[in-house]
Chain A
């Protein structure tokens, strides 16, 4: 157990639908990062939050949005889902930049 909790572990949904992925960071970590990993590909950085504020944005589609709540958990919302959105979505947390990036076990999203 890495200390970063992601739910659900698996999600199957239809095209056009909307889903919410949840991440609870490791205790004490203020930063949350979201990544997308498509089949047999590397990790694409989506977005980072630090203590409730958006800190950095990567290749995140307009159909996707995220937020970090006062208790530091984060949610990634994916809407108008397309087949190409099928991927493994990771959350990672850290106390601050550069140290202790810890990954959750990921949410596997399948869009059918």
Chain B
């Protein structure tokens, strides 16, 4: 089965601190894409960062970076210098086969 698992339903972080959200996936494929999406209270789905499985270098977008461990099938999101606007639900997702699978999400609270 192809699945995406987020084991942290809720996380919190102090403003300006760093937080890491975990994601693991299961696939037998060698080529796929991994994503982190942010869903703020507005419910809009916003792409945060994208990683191509064949690239060894971890993707980075400003304060957001990933730790991609292909052998371990792990894809964690690190948010540095957390801001109040980072508070949202974060979904890990992957293209596996012809489908796009989402994890169940991690609700991030940023404490002022």
Contact = CB atoms under 8 A, between A and B. Distances in A.
Contacts of B46: 103
A92 interface: yes
B32 A42 contact: no
B43 A88 contact: yes
Interface residues of A, number: 24
B47 A101 contact: yes
Contact of B98 (A42, A55, A99, A105): A55
Nearest to A103: B45
B47 A43 contact: no
A106 B42 CA distance: 10
A14 to B, nearest CB: 24
B33 A98 contact: yes
Interface string A1-35: 01000000000000000000000000000000101
B95 interface: yes
B91 interface: yes
Interface string B19-54: 000000000000011010100001111110010100
Given A42-B91, A55-B98, A98 B103 contact: no
B99 interface: yes
B43 A56 contact: no
A101 B99 CA distance: 12
A101 B44 contact: no
Given A45-B99, A92-B45, A105-B44, A99 B33 contact: yes
